[in-house]
Amino acid sequence: MVQPVHITGVGGYLPERILTNAELASLVDTTDDWIVERTGIRERHIIAGNQHTSDLAVEAARQALDDAGLKPSDLDALVVATTTPDMIFPSTAAVVQSKLGASGFPVWDIQAVCSGFVYGLAQITGMMEAGMFRRVLLVGAESMSRILNWKDRTTCVLFGDGAGAVVLECMDGEGGIMGSVLNADGSYRPLLMAKHPHPGASPDMPDMRIDAAGIAAIEMRGNEVFRTAVNKLGEVVGQVLEHCHTEVSDVDWLIPHQANIRIINATAKKLKLGTERVAITVDKHANTSSASVPLALNTYYREGKVKEGQLILLEAFGAGFVWGANLLRWTKG
């Protein structure tokens, strides 16, 4: 008999450095009012010069493991969702495993940009339900500040750094991860990219590109991304609710990707879901890509807002485009 997959531990980590809108206004042609009105963001956390994405991930992972009452050696697998890895290879997950002082189980990265955590949760749940693993640590971790053009006010104001993590365990009992729906359409990729000429490109191949942390910069056509995100998120949320034979009125918390308050509000309106049931952390965290959903979950969990038996809906949309949603019954206790 297949045991349900439950979240048994939650963790998060934000770098100490806080960059306010007022400080940004001294770097680029913008104002606090302009940023807040268009994004809902008031501040964001920025990784320290001596930190790596793996360091953020380790801190969140340790908190999640402590919350679950587990040690790294108790794990059967470790997965890191990130689009800003420490290096091209090895995987950031391998680095995190080593920094946790663990070994003896598989690790890998997931690259689905802002949808990385949602994709990872769906993937791992399926593997656990198939009997491959019983305990898995999933981390979303990003250093988005390192792939920003700090002269482009349309993108540099949007992003921040951080990490969120959950421990997943197969356990008897009601609830747990109920279902997921994922989707993608690569034809939209020109609307949101991180690209830059390769510094070592041959003169004979001037169009060579590489997308990697440290030598890339985000480019975005915001209005088109906004319209597509709202439509696709509305669709995928409806699909996961239908898949799980659930009505939107039954949802206690929508924990969305924290990209932009206008996207969050427009999605909630499209679903006819009151804003009092929507988790909002974008004002303090900005867009932390794959870390945003687990960071928001961790924030609301630690504030006591996520309670036993509640129905939780997670959703995210990212470059590619890729998007997805997960539905779960909170049974951590």
Enumerate the active-site residues.
114, 257, 287
Structure tokens at 316: 């995210």
Q: Transcribe 132-177 into DSSP letters.
A: S-SEEEEEEEEEGGGG--TT-HHHHTTB-EEEEEEEEEE-SSS-EE
In whole angstroms, give the CA distance from residue 189 to residue 197.
17
In whole angstroms, give the CA distance from residue 305 to residue 194.
35
Task: Examine residue 321 and say whether the peptide bond preceding it is cis (omega within 30 degrees of 0).
Answer: yes
Residues facing residue 325 across a β-bridge: 181, 315
